[in-house]
Amino acid sequence: MKKQKSPVAELAMRIIKSEVLKEPFEITNEIKHCEELQIEAGCYISVHTQNGELRAFHGTQHPTEESLYYEVIRNAKNTVNHDAHYKPISAHELENILIAVDVLGVPYRINDLAELDPIHKGIIISHGGKKAILLPNAKGIETPGQQLEAAKQKAGLEYVENSELQISIFTSTRFE
């Protein structure tokens, strides 16, 4: 298992390893009482290969647990067990995966597309019950137009006029 740099990402890695190997997880007091894990926030867990390929991705836009500590545990388990977009992570992959935890700031609605900033701000779009979220600094997305089109495609809203979309943006802090 590759050593993670932050206690937040280390927690996610330990949970993922525990879920893949079907073993109980052990968390040190240093991780459990880490200041960053005491806040309430939504987060996304992403699992990448050493060459940058996305292997799994799952999270929550808003907090669903009493603290980020429990939010990371819940989302890390769901990353392994409930992400139908990717094949399950295998035990032999554990040594070579990288984990990132993106802790989301509070999203706020925008009315002007000039406020989009794909490097520093993520985007949430919705319309008619369909929704998509893209984290800031997503691979291959450099312009606001690319960010909006990628979110529309992800949500299945390619043919919806921008003026009909509910668009929110948010900041995030990444822990690796």
Using one digit for the tens of pLDDT, what is the confidence trace for 147-162? 999 999 999 999 999 9
Q: Cβ atoms within 10 A of the Cβ of 122, count?
A: 25
Tokens of 37: 């894990």
The predicted model gives 153-172 an average pLDDT of 96
pTM for the predicted model, two decimal places = 0.89
* Superfamily (CATH H level) for 7-104: Hypothetical protein ph0010; domain 1 (3.30.700.20)
DSSP state, residue 119: T
To the nearest whole percent, how much of the chain has pLDDT over 70?
98
d(CA 90, CA 38): 31
Position 32 pLDDT exceeds 90: no
- Fold exhibited by the domain 108-171: Dna Ligase; domain 1 (3.30.1490)
Locate the domains of the chain by residue range: 7-104, 108-171
Looking at residue 146, its amino acid is Q
pLDDT of residue 1: 39
Could you give the strand order of the β-sheet that contains 172-175, starting from the edge strand earlier in sequence? 54-59, 43-49, 97-104, 172-175
Q: Cβ atoms within 10 A of the Cβ of 93, count?
A: 13
pLDDT of residue 85: 81
Tokens of 119: 């490097």
